[in-house]
């Protein structure tokens, strides 16, 4: 009897499903999560759906395309019911995200299937893909992990992620999706050589612009993710020590790209025996991989077999087993520090404020009742709260809000980034007010969360107002209607006490306690 069958009989296995609504197709994976967290695949489905063709050409999803997509998802609903799936996560990426009528599509899917589709932003796409890649190939990368570029060419966009010593240094999405390029440049009716010339020119321009903010030329290891990369590996790839990776030499990849760029999609479909829908986007995708390969220092292209759906399944497995992925939190913090350094903050101050804020969070758990994810958001807000000073020292808290809200922080959803932006906005000066439009547009639950976290951040920032880091430890003690912060006796607490008096108003409003600092010979 297999492990899956044993788990089924004992009732300990949990069945989950991941649905990926992409630009060119809708895919679903059904799997069982075993008690030890391992996954056993039960079903993998893929149906073509040209959502990207509509969005990238006309800016909206057409009626026929939506009907086809809903029909596919209805069929997937039947499969899910057959397997008695306990938990489903359905996500949509750029084709739905950028469609002007995306809300109407999401509503139609929910009414027809019951699937609550989550439209994810590029940082979440990157997190899901990279978490799966790192889990599968961490050992294989080994010594070459110093600077790794992970490239995932999709239909709507290309995700670029740089790992430094195994941690996410930066992640960015660029509009170099294979379907987007074809539709926006209208190359479908061009002769093969002319289409290639147009595509190469556009890809070169975008990559040149990206290189000003992303150190692609420092990458020593190049990892390609995606269906078109897997096609290349199937044609010319060589096995590696890891079953999850194939290797392609530069010269061999050059030859494959030259061979493909001289053919029409119809010819590619016949030559390689692939569906026309796949052949139609193959050239553009290979040209993107090739152009990025050329700007790195890598001597070979490593092709990973994992997909974003593997990342979705890993998330579901962690959820149903009650486990946490510590590497995700590390990646979030590393990414937040990269944002802080980009805007030239006082790193020692931001780290100390972040540490003090988290200490307050931990010691006031009974007062705020928040969870570990909220603790992570507070840590991130502490790291980036002063990036607005890059624009101007005047009203820098407002500039911080704008810069944070428009940053991509690996591992955080767009909603979470927005919460962090508001917490950063209120680290000084005015507390949240009904006249603050952006704050009032938040759901009530998020407004309360922002206020709770901002109150802690204001106190932490007051304790390092001098940027001297003379206070690195603290202990909280409740005395009647006061919250006394006991800190190791420094040379002088005058400035910190004054700043607490200025910034403690939000803490008193939210927690109902006046806050003050007091010297103590010991802390915990």
Give domain limits for the chain: 3-120, 123-307, 324-520
- Please report the pLDDT score of residue 328 as a whole number: 75
Whether the Cβ atoms of residue 462 and residue 493 lie closer than 8 Å to each other: no
Q: Distance between CA 224 and CA 241 in Å, rounded? A: 17
The backbone torsions φ and ψ at residue 329, rounded to the nearest 5 degrees and listed phi first, read: -60, -40
Query: Which of 360, 336, 304 minimizes the C-alpha distance to 483?
Result: 360
Query: Which of 61, 44, 25, 66 minimizes the C-alpha distance to 277?
Result: 25
Q: Distance between CA 375 and CA 370 in Å, rounded? A: 8
Q: Distance between CA 406 and CA 214 in Å, rounded? A: 17
Block means of pLDDT (10 residues each) for the chain, length 524 residues?
45 88 94 88 93 92 96 97 95 94 97 95 83 74 70 92 79 89 88 94 94 88 94 94 90 96 93 91 96 95 91 87 73 89 94 97 94 95 96 90 91 91 94 93 96 97 92 91 87 85 93 91 58
Cα distances from 489 to residues 354, 465, 486, 520, 522, in angstroms, run 21, 16, 9, 6, 9
- Please report the pLDDT score of residue 141 as a whole number: 61
Q: Distance between CA 28 and CA 43 in Å, rounded? A: 8
How many C-beta neighbours within 10 Å does residue 151 have? 23
User: What's the pTM value of the predicted model, to 2 decimals?
Assistant: 0.77
Whether the Cβ atoms of residue 439 and residue 363 lie closer than 8 Å to each other: no
- Please report the pLDDT score of residue 11 as a whole number: 53
The backbone torsions φ and ψ at residue 138, rounded to the nearest 5 degrees and listed phi first, read: -55, -45
Q: Distance between CA 140 and CA 134 in Å, rounded? A: 10
Q: Distance between CA 373 and CA 247 in Å, rounded? A: 38
Q: Classify domain 123-307 by CATH architecture.
A: 2-Layer Sandwich (3.30)
Query: Which of 116, 133, 49, 179 minimizes the C-alpha distance to 309?
Result: 133
Per-residue tokens: 499: 């700043």
Give the 3-state secondary structure of 334-345.
HHHHHHHHHCCC
Give the H or E element holding residue 15: strand 14-21
Q: Distance between CA 263 and CA 279 in Å, rounded? A: 10
- Please report the pLDDT score of residue 135 as a whole number: 76
CATH class for the domain made up of 324-520: mainly alpha
The superfamily (CATH) of domain 3-120 is ATPase, nucleotide binding domain (3.30.420.40)
Beta bridge partners of 158: 153, 174
Q: Distance between CA 328 and CA 128 in Å, rounded? A: 10
How are beta strands 482-488 and 475-479 bridged, if at all? antiparallel
Same fold, 3-120 and 324-520: no
Per-residue tokens: 190: 């061009």
- Please report the pLDDT score of residue 138 as a whole number: 65
Per-residue tokens: 90: 């359905």
């Amino acid at each position: 009897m297999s492990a899956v069958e044993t788990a089924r009989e004992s009732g300990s296995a949990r069945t989950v499903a991941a649905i990926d609504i992409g630009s060119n197709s809708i895919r679903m994976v059904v799997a069982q999560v075993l008690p030890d967290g391992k996954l056993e695949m039960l079903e993998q489905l893929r149906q073509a759906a040209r959502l990207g063709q509509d969005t990238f050409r006309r800016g909206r999803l057409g009626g026929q395309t939506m009907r086809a997509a809903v029909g596919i998802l209805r069929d997937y609903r039947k499969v899910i019911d057959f397997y008695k799936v306990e938990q489903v996560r359905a996500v949509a990426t750029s084709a739905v995200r950028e469609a002007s009528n995306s809300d109407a599509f999401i509503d139609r899917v929910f009414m027809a299937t019951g699937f609550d589709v989550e439209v994810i932003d590029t940082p979440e796409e990157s997190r899901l893909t990279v978490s799966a890649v790192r889990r599968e190939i961490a050992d294989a990368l080994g010594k070459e992990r110093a600077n790794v570029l992970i490239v995932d060419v999709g239909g709507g966009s290309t995700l670029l992620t740089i790992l430094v010593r195994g941690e996410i240094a930066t992640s960015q999405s660029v509009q170099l999706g294979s379907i987007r390029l074809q539709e926006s440049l209208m190359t479908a009716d061009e002769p093969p050589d002319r289409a290639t010339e147009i595509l190469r020119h556009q890809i070169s321009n975008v990559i040149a612009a990206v290189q000003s903010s992303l150190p692609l030329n420092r990458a020593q290891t190049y990892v390609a993710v995606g269906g078109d990369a897997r096609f290349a590996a199937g044609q010319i790839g060589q096995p590696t020590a890891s079953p999850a990776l194939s290797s392609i030499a530069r010269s061999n990849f050059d030859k494959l790209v030259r061979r493909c760029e001289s053919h029409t999609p119809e010819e590619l479909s016949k030559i390689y025996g692939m569906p026309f829908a796949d052949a139609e986007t193959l050239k553009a995708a290979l040209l993107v991989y090739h152009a990025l390969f050329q700007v790195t220092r890598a001597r070979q292209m490593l092709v990973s077999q994992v997909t974003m759906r593997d990342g979705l399944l890993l998330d579901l497995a962690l959820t149903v087993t009650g486990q946490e992925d510590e590497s995700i939190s590390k990646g979030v913090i590393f990414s937040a520090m990269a944002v802080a350094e980009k805007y030239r903050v006082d790193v020692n101050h931001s780290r100390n404020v972040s540490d003090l804020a988290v200490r307050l969070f931990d010691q006031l758990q009974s007062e705020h009742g928040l969870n570990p994810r909220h603790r992570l958001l507070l840590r991130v807000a502490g790291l980036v709260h002063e990036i607005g000073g890059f624009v101007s020292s005047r009203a820098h808290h407002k500039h911080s809000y704008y810069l944070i809200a428009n940053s991509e922080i690996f591992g955080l959803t767009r909603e979470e980034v927005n919460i962090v932006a508001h917490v950063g906005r209120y680290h000084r000066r005015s507390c949240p007010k009904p006249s603050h439009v952006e704050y009032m547009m938040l759901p009530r639950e998020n407004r309360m969360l922002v206020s709770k976290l901002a109150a802690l951040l204001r106190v932490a920032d007051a304790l390092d107002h001098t940027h001297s880091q003379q206070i690195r430890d603290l202990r909280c003690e409740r005395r009647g209607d006061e919250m006394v912060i006991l800190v190791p006796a420094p040379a002088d607490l005058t400035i910190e006490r004054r700043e607490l008096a200025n910034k403690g108003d939000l803490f008193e409003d939210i927690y109902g306690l006046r806050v003050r600092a007091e010297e103590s010979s010991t802390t915990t």
